[in-house]
Amino acid sequence: MMKIEILGTGCAKCRKLYENALDAVKQSGKEAEVVKVEEIRKIVSYGVMSTPALVVDGVVKTSGKLLSPEEIIGML
């Protein structure tokens, strides 16, 4: 199963990206676990300097951008 992580400290954009990721998974019909990562150490361990960030199976796909569900589907 795919693992999608939303990196962010809980800001509005981070929460919205989490919601959009859940939407994207539902729309795509794929099986994925979507989790929020709010611990600064873990976020920094990915080399991310600006949030929100989208990580799919351990690979940082974007950072500092709020993606639409459609944009996220394209990365799954």
Catalytic residue among 6, 14, 55, 67: 14
Catalytic residue among 11, 12, 40, 49: 11
- Known active-site residue 44: no
Per-residue tokens: 75: 């990365």
- 45, HSE (Cβ side, Cα atoms, 13 Å): 7
- Known active-site residue 74: no
DSSP assignment letter at 43: H
Q: Which positions are catalytic?
A: 11, 14
